Structure 1
C-alpha cells in the first residue's frame, strides 16, 4: 500500500519481502552546507543527514521525516535473466520530497529490449504526477571496463522519459585510477555520480587516499558512507564545487547486530 501524500510519509517501507542482498541497507545524504558538522572524526549517525537511499524491507528512520532527497530501490536485473527487472517495490511512492530517485540494481549490462521498456514504463508511472527527479543505476563496474559501462549509461539516458536525470553509483578506484577518457565518457552520460567509501558494512580504511582524486571526476558527485562506520571528512571536499554531499548507507537491524 502506498504512503499517504505528505513529507515524511514513508510507511510503504517494509511492506514487501526483499531478496537477501537488497534487504541490507538504506542510505542518507547531507547537503554541502552541512559539511562543517561532518568533518570531525567519529561514527556515522543518520540523524546528522538530510536525504536517504531507502531499500525495501528496511524501516524508515526518524530522520526521514525531514528528508530532502530519497533514492528508492525499485528493482534488480539479475545475472540469470537480461530480459526482466525483478520488481522489489510494487507501489509508486507518493511522499513529497525535494528529490526522488528510482534506483535499479544491475548485475549485467547486456539488457534485452524488454528490460529497457520495463524501466522506462516504471519511471513514467512514478512520475505520473511529477516529482520524480531521475533514475539511478547501481552496477559494480571494474575500473578497466568503465568505457563499456559509459556506453550502457548513454543508452539508458537516451531512453529516459523527458526531463528525468541519470545517476550512478561508483567505486573509489574510478577517480583514482581510471583513464581520463573513460571518466570523460562517464561525465557525458551522467548528471551525478555517488562514490561509495565502504565494503559491505565496513568503511574502507584508506578512503582518504582515494577521495583525494575526486577532482578528476570533473562532474557533480556525492560520497556514500556506511552507518556506524568510522569517518572523518577530507578537508578538500568542503572547497570542491562539484561535491554535492554525503550519503550514509544505513544498515538493517540484522546487519547492525552482526557487526556488533
Structure 2
C-alpha cells in the first residue's frame, strides 16, 4: 500500500510539473490567395517555391462588377494540377452590386465548379467574397442559404467577412449559413493609417471569436498600394494592375515587422476558433507591390527579420560596377545615400533611380525616387573608372 501511495504521489508530481512547464506556441496554418486575373509563366516558379510553407491555395475564379458583368480569371489548370495542394475557388461579387440575383449567381458559381472539374481540378471548397453593407446582411444570408443548398453537401462553403459586420445584430445568423469565414483585416480606410493596424486587427479577431463557434481565418496583407487623387476627393487605389492615370502617387505598404509580431501574438495566445492565416497575395517575380516570397515565408514561419544592405564592387581593367545587395530575409527600401571612397577617377555615372555627385576622393550616390530591394536580390546603381576604389571605405545610409 505504501508503495502504491509513493507511486501515486510521484505521478501527481510529474503531472503538476508538466502542467507548469511553458508550452510551445502552436503553429498556425498558413494559406495563400492567388489573385491574379491573368496567369503567366511567373505563376509556376512562385507556386513551386511556396509549397513548403503554405498549405492551401485560394484562387480567384470569378468576378462580378456593376455594369461590367461577369469575368473569369484565366488560370493555368495544368500548373494547379501539378501543384496538388488543396484548392479553394474564390467568387468575387463586388459590394457595389445593387442586389444578388440568387438564381443567376448560383448558376455562374456552379458553372465554374463544373468547368474546373472538367479540367481535372479537385476543389476543396468555395469562398464567396462579397463586401455587403450591414443593411444588406439579411439578404446576403438568404443568398448563402440558397447557394449552400445548391452546392454538393461535401463541398465546404466559406465567406470573406468585414470587421464592420461586428456592429450588425445579423452577424451570428449570417455565420451559421457557412462552414467557415475569413475575416479581412486589411484595407485602405484612412490613408493616414496605412493598410494595416496590428492592434486593431487583434481586437477584431478576438471580437470575431466571441461571435462565431465555427472555424475562421484572418486574411492578412503582404502587399502595397498606391493612392491617386480623384476629382471627387476620394483616392483611387492602384494595386497589382496599373491605372492609366497621371498624378502623384502615395505609396502604402504593409510592414512585415508588424505582421510578424501579430503572427507571434496569435501563436502564443490564439483567439478561440482561429484556424489559420491567409496571405494576400501570392507574389510573382514581376509584382512590384507585393512582398518578396522570401520575406513572406520568413513572416509566415515566425523567423527573425533582417535586411543586410551592402555594396559589392566588381572590377575589370579599372572599370568598377557598383551593385547594391540585400542578402537578408527582409525587403528593404533603397538606401537614401551611398558613399564610396575613390581616387583618380576618369569617369563615373549613376543608373536609374540615383544621381551621382563626384569629388576628388568620394563618389556619392543619392536616391532620386523610392524603391525596394527584395530580400536576396541585387541592383546595379552605377559604374566608375578609377585608379583605386576602397570598398572598405564605402558606406550605405538607410
2:238 is aligned with 1:207 = no
| Aligned positions of 1:12-161 closer than 5 A | 33-35=26-28, 50-56=30-36, 57=38, 59-60=42-43, 61=46, 63-66=49-52, 67-80=54-67, 85-89=70-74, 91-92=76-77, 93-107=80-94, 108=97, 109-111=99-101, 113-128=103-118, 129=120, 131-161=122-152
CA contact (8 A) 2:102 2:143 kept: no
Secondary structure of 1:153 counterpart: helix
Q: What TM-score comes out, normalization by structure 2 length?
A: 0.47
CA contact (8 A) 1:166 1:190 kept: yes
CA contact (8 A) 1:120 1:161 kept: no
Secondary structure of 1:127 counterpart: helix
Question: How many residues end up aligned between the 2 structures?
Answer: 211
1:115-154 deviations in whole A, cap 9, x for unaligned?
A: 4323202212323456211211111112343222111111
CA contact (8 A) 2:60 2:91 kept: yes
Structure 1 CA distance, aligned partners of 2:213 and 2:116?
30
CA contact (8 A) 1:76 1:85 kept: yes
136-145 or 88-97, which deviates more: 88-97
Q: CA deviation at 1:167?
A: 1.0
1:172 to 163, 167, 170: 163
Secondary structure of 1:95 counterpart: helix
> Compared with structure 1, are the counterparts of its residues 97 and 68 closer, same or farther at alpha carbon in structure 2 (3 Å cutoff)?
farther
51-60 or 136-145, which deviates more: 51-60
CA contact (8 A) 1:102 1:134 kept: yes
User: What is the Cα-based RMSD across aligned positions, in Å?
Assistant: 3.0
Q: What TM-score comes out, normalization by structure 1 length?
A: 0.68
> Compared with structure 1, are the counterparts of its residues 235 and 50 closer, same or farther at alpha carbon in structure 2 (3 Å cutoff)?
closer
Q: Could you tell me which residue of structure 1 aligns to residue 181 of structure 2?
A: 193
Which ranges of structure 2 fall in alignment gaps of 5 or more residues? 1-24, 189-193, 223-253, 291-332, 334-369, 373-398
Secondary structure of 2:217 counterpart: strand
| Structure 1 segments of 4+ aligned residues over 6 angstroms from their partners | 257-260
Q: CA deviation at 1:85?
A: 2.5
CA contact (8 A) 1:75 1:87 kept: yes
Which structure has more relative contact order (CA 8 Å, sep 6+)? It is 1
Secondary structure of 1:145 counterpart: helix
CA contact (8 A) 1:74 1:102 kept: yes
Q: CA deviation at 1:259?
A: 8.8
Which structure carries more strand by proportion? 2
Q: CA deviation at 1:207?
A: 2.0
CA contact (8 A) 2:206 2:271 kept: no
Which ranges of structure 1 fall in alignment gaps of 5 or more residues? 1-31, 36-48
